[in-house]
Amino acid sequence: MGEVFLATDTRLGRAVAIKTTREQFTPDSSARRELSSALNHPHICTLYDVGPDYLVMEYVEGETIQNRIKKGALPLPLTLTYGIQIANALCEAHSKGITHRDLKPGNVMIAKNGVKVLDFGLAKFAAADETLTQAGVQVGTPLYMAPEQRDGRTADARTDIHALGLLRYEMATCKRALQGQPIQLQELPERFAHIVERCLAQEPEDRWQTARDLSAELAWATKRRSGSAPSEGLAACPSAVDCGSRGRRGGRRSHRGLGWEQ
């Protein structure tokens, strides 16, 4: 989708990440401002500004899940922990009427205090049915698209839940689920396999209907596994809702990974 540059916000003296995009965002400045200010959550990368072909966002140190799973599958407790954190981030976004639509391993960063969901630049506002990318362009990454995305149907919160199911399967097994092929769930614990399977239902009506429901199920599975309640920050999403920077080009990194290219 583009390149990411480390930059300095000269007004506040802070490091930021600037992501350039090949797509042009819609010219509606009110939508850009709304997206910049709508999301404030510990597991969402803060978006400071949106330009016609760039995003200015919080600089997060760490590695993406995509890079982490190159080293092997994550332990199940860690998969559950990250799953809860991502579900809670989605719960916050969905409560504001925002669907991510491009959730994948390269868009989740493992930081010091847990994960951060990146790249809400493709987000869709449910209330106004307004997207930040040009109309008529298929949005998302094909490997992580839900059936309704591939068919050009409306994407909603359940589209993100499908992507989270794919992401959690990949974290736990170090394998990608391929379109049109059944995934191998027998190697996973039964309860975890059930959660993943329901996320990946072909029809949105058969999936978990809200990120809050999914977060609660993951928290329950974590409690059953550990024999105690999830630690602070890992509890189910509490929401009852259905759920000017100038860049200084330094090292360059791919949007898919973390390593800075010289």
Q: Which residues are catalytic?
A: 102
Phi, psi of 64 (to 5 degrees): -75, 160
Amino acid at 38: A
3-class secondary structure, 118: coil
CB 80 within 8 A of CB 221: yes
* Nearest to 156, CA basis, from 119, 132, 129, 195: 129
C-alpha 31/C-alpha 164 separation (Å) is: 26
Tokens 């990318």 found at: 133
Q: Is 112 exposed, middle or buried (0-12, 13-18, 19+ CB in 10 A)?
A: exposed
Hey, which bits of the chain come out as E strands? Answer: 3-9, 14-20, 47-50, 54-58, 63-64, 98-99, 108-111, 114-117, 124-125, 130-131, 252-254, 260-261
Q: What is the DSSP letter of 232?
A: T
Helix residue ranges per DSSP H, 108-189 = 147-150, 157-173
